[in-house]
Structure 1
């Protein structure tokens, strides 16, 4: 990776020049890609994401939006506390760090912030992972079995072993592809000192997500004995490897 920063009066773009030296503000504008017939949308996250067909290949463009009650007041605005503390720059650099650790995450392409007074808005571009579906979709289709659960546990353990804390570890952010499993959406994620407390809290968040999506449709006892036990077996085996 060759990190470069491009600034103007309204904000800045942080990008990987080895992926593309051409990244500029229009890359973060869905109307720009729509006008070229190079945009499609897909559900996911807060308001979904856009698939853009760039000179660097097919990418995912995500605009940062708040969730919960604060979204009614702030929408997509965040309080300015410095460029290096923007949501987009922090996630860009975390993805960069995880890539160096050979963790299965999307390749980061570029991050942007646009500042207005005390607030800023932000966007992130990553490479699109081909032929994927989410763990949530597998649950909905009844395809979450002991083998997949064990693979999910091993996936999470790889990140935890490296000290990566995912702020929103849920079944929508686990991607399944023919090449393997990935974790995505590291907004507010960070590297932390190894500790059982935050690791277990992370796992419990994933567990709640699976239950909410209906992973225990055949009964809580079956979920506990077949799915969750297998997931934890994969987790503990990989964490201790």
Structure 2
């Protein structure tokens, strides 16, 4: 039977894909550590200079049932093959709307019986977790993100905008001083697609990256629950994004 905290790695649920595998527990999801840089004072203590959140580790405990040594060897082989993927999605059945990105850094067995327990250690270089892709659609000049369920800002996946009438340039700004400017005319009904994952921009499917202003916040056009985007014309929009949590 599938565990309530069943572990999935690279899109493969181990409880479902390996007969006899059961996820017992997962530790570390709520943890974080902060490295602080400080300099000692001549008086007591030290002066704070800077700090950063560090990568974190998840530890997954599991049980693996087998009927023979050959069966155990085959299941361990499949387990190691699935876990050999690098920097891939990590998720758990009790929190299906959110995922991490990490790499398995160790697999250990607690004993050598036909029914061993063991541990899988996953290192999360990016310590944040991200929701499944969400989207906002509508018409007009503005779009608000008041239902963005986190304080942490994140770059959207993409923005699509189709103007109702022809425009000489396409501009998108936020109330948090972010700006994207395409120095190219766009005819009515032609879709502008700004892809923040691949840092690309198209109009009606044609690449127009060379017309994107160098002053645009292409790599750091972040949104959060307080963000309001404004377009320089009326039209249809579709914004795809992931909510970012610690």
Q: Normalising to structure 1: TM-score of the pair? A: 0.26
Q: Select the structure that is richer in helix.
A: 1
Q: Select the structure that is richer in strand.
A: 2
Q: Normalising to structure 2: TM-score of the pair? A: 0.26
